[in-house]
Structure 1
Amino acid sequence: MTALFALLLLVACGGGEGGGGDAPDTGAATDDVGVGDVESPDSGGGGALSARVALQFEPGEGRAILVEVALAWEGAEAPPMNTWIDALEVTAAYGVLDELSEVSPGRYRATLLPPEEDEAGDIWTGEIPVTARVVVSGEVVAEQRRVPLVLPFRMEGLGQPEAVPGLVNTPGMEDSPEVSPDGELIIIGSYSPVDLGYCQVQGTAVDAVGCNHNTYDPSARPDMFGAARIVDGETIVHAIDSLGYDPSTFPTPIATPPVASFGFRRQPDGSYAEPFVLGGDAEGYTWNQTYGYTFDPVVAGRVFFSFNEISDTPDTLNDMWQVDMVVGEVNRFGYYEEGELRGWQGVRVPIADPTSVCGEAACEYGNPNITAERLWFDNERQTDDIFFVDVTRDAQGVAVAFSPPARAAFSQAERGETMPHWHGGFLYYMCGQSVCRSRLLEGADPRLDASWEPEQELLSGTTRIPWQLKGGRSGRVVATSEPSVADVEVDGEVQTWLHFGYIMQVHYGAGDLDFGGNWNMGRVRIRDGWSKRGDDGRLRSPGR
């Protein structure tokens, strides 16, 4: 009990220092529960009251996480909070929470200490679902759930990483995530209700458990291309009629779990919902989907993405395309019939001399990022380098011409850099298993080494134990990737948020082939002033 309120402030934790064993919370870990106002019983103050609770997180000292809880209530004659709220409960799935303290009226704070090590002897990393509840007369009248992330490394100056809340993340795969420049939209380029890592570990066999076990929820992924092939949670039909593919007659059959792209709208509470599908309709054919979306900052509603048109002869691998989309509607950019692409709306980005990028005509043009004057991209799965072309736009702002490609000078062939994203004078990108950035000097030529300031490592998933079945804990973070940055207006304040992908290792059983990964999307705030030249402060977790 606090000194100021006749109010039980209960802080609890579950899982303890051990981290809760091998089973990670890979369900709707970022969903809000009871979003919006919930009426409480009459308080005697002249009418029913409406309560709301909100969670946010800040980094504390070392690995500590500051958990901040805000309460709000509405009513014609709202009495003091302690006269009608029985309890404010805050629980965390892992680690230790200390006692809540009052920061100001209606605002409270507690410190969450994540476990230091897991049972495998590695640094403890992963999601920690935190729930805040307001209890009145024994009933929960307001509740919110948010999920801070513990990563092996976070650069000093960043806020506390967390999973993106709402419908974006599922137990399936959310790969190739991208946020719009204003933060109002998110696109997941590659969603599947199947853990494709698990499927590939099991050899992509049609009858493999890992290629059929799925968590498809049509309410969270409506109108998904290929959803009709999902029979139940353990069975998928791998034949694709529109491509003429039947694994029972194909000489080298492979599994084809459905994959599709989905967009989401930002909600008033900062979560994302209202999912809508977009891309080419090949009945969710796994190995040939649109991905790597980026929002054109000049032409509203226009997106760029990567896609391999499989009926191309000869096969040119992934090309970059641009197309207009309609938010909130089914965006079917084209469809396959008898193995041929029909009604395709995409306009191919012509890249001159692919040999300068890939050394051969068949070139992977992946993960584009469009700015007003330049298009950045990579050749992922080839040399894993970053390239760019300058863009010429017509009177309507449409990108109509592109210069010959050139490699960004900082891109190191021996390490690999992919998934570029430009924001505020910096190029963000994946570097190994980390997210990095480099500043390009104003007006400088990206092809020259002297044009780039020293690289900064922002986030990392690198841990002591390599990503393997019996080498680490299920639920630990093993990689960070796919950076994108948004300037989001929150309560009249513009905040800059770095969004990123992260992968958690998942164990499905004791067998050598019973493991995979859960691809999710996270975010972390970039504080004002942190992006100034020369800021290279670092905060490392113990053991690195």
Structure 2
Amino acid sequence: MRGKEIVGNAAVWCLSGAVLLVTGCDGAPSKKSSDDLPIRIDDPSMSVQLNRQDDVDGLDKIAVTVELLRGSQPATGLENSLALTLPAGMTASDFAEIEDGIYQTLLTPSRTGEFEITVSENITFGLSETLHPVVLADVHEDWGQPMMVEGLVNTDGYEDGIAISPDGEYLFVQYSPAYFSGLILFNFSREDGGCGGDRLSPERCTHPWIDNTIGPVSAPERPDFYNARINSDGTWRHNSVSWGMGDDTLTLFSVSNVFYGFKRQFDGSYREPFIIAFDDEGDGISSPFGLSVLPDYGSSDNYLLALSFNAPDDTESVDFDDNGTADAESLLDIYTLQSALGDPINLGNFNYSDTPGTPPQRDSSFGLTKVGFSDVGIEGIAGTQGNPHLFRESSTVSSIWTDDEYDAKGPGSDHGELSVYVNLTDSYPSFSWQKVVLPAPVNLADPSQEIQPFFTGTELYFTRSNDTELPAVWMSKYSGAHTQTDFGNTALWATPVKVLAASSDQEIGNIIAIGEPTVGTIDGDEVMFFVYGVVRGFDETSGLADINMQAGYVRRND
């Protein structure tokens, strides 16, 4: 019998029989094992696999392949006893036995979205399996069937900033029990149904997306979440303990958000959540983003983490023109730490200063080290270094890949561009880095935005969008050495290809946003994880879509 998940094209393999249940059909490991009970050679089993089939004229179809066994022998002639439970927006052909004991049907989606399908054989075996394929507007031929991440990762709150450890053992998301679209609606003009960027002026702005939380804030999905800003009825207090601001005194729409890590389980799902956050008096607003994870070289227990953070008490500024005078604050910078994973990680405390409206102050528990980019000129800490990705060739982090903004002096500055900071030493975190803004065809001129880089050594994955196209995941092959000279050489970067794309049709259930590519190797397979946005509904006044941000993955084809 088989007892593992095939990540990517295939979904959970559910094993059952008269005396043995290795993996429950709900995806949770059973307490029973082969040591508990004898295995009969005629025990029935069912495995289900999903494979994407390219369709040049429309949305890709999904081949559902079911294998039925009695012990090790194919169970034949059961095509009429197989059944599918499908949601609206998807149809299926009849099952056909394509080999002895192997049956197949073809699913045809009528829209993008995340779907729940159940495959059942109820007459002879009494087995069923529930799967969650994700249908996108476009998937590159090198990649298989996208799937929703199973386990405790996805909720009604928003999951963003996804990151996978290289070995696939730990998955991370940034989480808030907030309406993601509330962040957009807040800046809409009041005439258009928004808050105009100010929640209190000229009068108090109220809206369900601004006033209410959505998603869990406790175990099992989100243990240890900070709730100092959430009322017992699930509404936001719009306060800040760490800044000394009382209820309904914040003009901004500031949501509590933290990182959660999840451990990969036997069945391929991700569970055992643990929080990674600063403790700012329980506010959850002094928050990093863009987590990157590597195993700590030479240590079997620790991992090396990097993240982007604008510390509220950080007074470091940038001297743009090297004249000895600071010109602007440094904004988001890259910080790093080493830590074991699995238990809650407190990145450090930010405490109330005792003066209302002034930044909270870090104490000695602050455990992060700022990466030593220069504070002179525009090639160091100037502007934002967002969504960092650590790349290591041997024992040392050799480069850090970021999306950079606002690193030019004066109004307008520059738009989102991908950069790589090359380590000129054999240590990390180093104090000698050379920044290279990636050339075309990776970075394109405004209005094109390139963000969220992930470098594998020979391929660069990133998110690209412009004023007419939705964000999509792209990839450019790289053929040069890992040096500042080669990284800046246009000839060494291939024209990017689109890997994953969302739909432009804003209908309920459709996926209209995608991004945050991150790649790991699981059981020898290359697997890309990503974030996608599903339309949950619409705001009547502004017309904005209520987008539920979710985590998905797709396996590279053999």
| Range of TM-score over shorter length | 0.7 to 0.9
**Structure-2 separation of matches of 1:170 and 1:274:** 15
Residue 481, structure 1, aligned to residue 515, structure 2: yes
**Structure-2 separation of matches of 1:165 and 1:104:** 30
Q: Which residue of 2 aligns with 1:435?
A: 473
Residue 276, structure 1, aligned to residue 274, structure 2: yes
Given candidates 182, 196, 204, the residue that maps to 2:180 is: 196
Conserved 8 A contact 2:227-2:283? no
**Alpha-carbon deviations, 1:190-236, whole Å to 9, x = none?**
21121131354143747431121312152343334423543356423
Amino acid paired to 1:332:
N
| TM-fit CA distance, 1:32 | 6.9
Q: Which residue of 2 aligns with 1:325?
A: 339
Equivalence map 1:120-139=2 (5 Å) = 124-135=111-122
Q: Which residue of 2 aligns with 1:456?
A: 497
**Structure-2 separation of matches of 1:341 and 1:72:** 61
SS at match of 1:242: coil
Conserved 8 A contact 1:187-1:263? yes
**Alpha-carbon deviations, 1:71-116, whole Å to 9, x = none?**
5677xxx99858999954322213101112234455432100011x
Report the more deviating stretch, 503-512 or 517-526: 503-512
TM-score (norm 2): 0.74
Q: Which structure would you say has the larger RCO, counting Cα contacts within 8 Å and 6 or more residues apart?
A: 1
Q: Which residue of 2 aligns with 1:311?
A: 313
**Structure-1 separation of matches of 2:425 and 2:235:** 48
Conserved 8 A contact 1:195-1:210? yes
| TM-fit CA distance, 1:442 | 2.8
**Structure-2 separation of matches of 1:263 and 1:111:** 36
| TM-fit CA distance, 1:514 | 6.3
Q: Which residue of 2 aligns with 1:35?
A: 28
TM-score (norm 1): 0.76
Equivalence map 1:84-483=2 (5 Å) = 88-93=82-87, 94-104=89-99, 106-115=101-110, 124-135=111-122, 142-188=127-173, 190-201=174-185, 202-203=194-195, 205=199, 207-211=206-210, 212-216=212-216, 218-232=218-232, 234-248=234-248, 250=249, 253-282=251-280, 285=283, 288-297=286-295, 299=297, 300-313=302-315, 315-338=329-352, 339-342=360-363, 343-353=365-375, 355-357=377-379, 362-372=382-392, 373-380=398-405, 383-391=415-423, 398-410=428-440, 411-414=443-446, 415-432=448-465, 433-443=471-481, 445-463=486-504, 465=505, 472-483=506-517
| TM-fit CA distance, 1:499 | 1.6
SS at match of 1:236: coil
**Structure-1 separation of matches of 2:123 and 2:339:** 46
Q: 1:308 to 1:69 in 2, by over 3 A?
A: farther
**Alpha-carbon deviations, 1:353-374, whole Å to 9, x = none?**
564259xx75111101111121
**Structure-2 separation of matches of 1:56 and 1:129:** 13
**Alpha-carbon deviations, 1:476-503, whole Å to 9, x = none?**
11122111111110xxxx1111221112
Q: Which residue of 2 aligns with 1:28?
A: none
Report the more deviating stretch, 227-236 or 147-156: 227-236
**Alpha-carbon deviations, 1:36-70, whole Å to 9, x = none?**
4699xxxxx97995756544333254421112334
**Structure-1 separation of matches of 2:270 and 2:528:** 16
SS at match of 2:378: helix
| TM-fit CA distance, 1:428 | 0.7
Q: Which runs of 5+ in 1 are unaligned?
A: 1-30, 40-44, 116-123, 466-471, 529-544
Q: Which residue of 2 aligns with 1:520?
A: 550
**Alpha-carbon deviations, 1:136-185, whole Å to 9, x = none?**
69xx9654332222222222222122222222211211111011111111
SS at match of 1:365: strand
SS at match of 1:450: helix
Amino acid paired to 2:172:
I
Conserved 8 A contact 2:75-2:100? no
**Structure-1 separation of matches of 2:480 and 2:78:** 58
| TM-fit CA distance, 1:133 | 3.6
**Structure-2 separation of matches of 1:400 and 1:475:** 46
Aligned residues: 462
**Structure-1 separation of matches of 2:477 and 2:73:** 53
Conserved 8 A contact 1:86-1:135? no
**Structure-2 separation of matches of 1:308 and 1:48:** 61
Q: 1:356 to 1:142 in 2, by over 3 A?
A: farther
Conserved 8 A contact 2:313-2:361? yes
| TM-fit CA distance, 1:294 | 0.9
Conserved 8 A contact 2:454-2:518? yes
**Structure-1 separation of matches of 2:423 and 2:444:** 24
Conserved 8 A contact 1:357-1:363? no
**Structure-1 separation of matches of 2:233 and 2:130:** 26
**Alpha-carbon deviations, 1:423-476, whole Å to 9, x = none?**
14011111111111111213161112122111111112252x5xxxxxx31221
Conserved 8 A contact 1:34-1:143? no
Equivalence map 1:64-75=2 (5 Å) = 64-71=61-68
**Structure-2 separation of matches of 1:302 and 1:73:** 47
SS at match of 2:535: strand
Q: 1:88 to 1:284 in 2, by over 3 A?
A: farther
SS at match of 2:242: helix
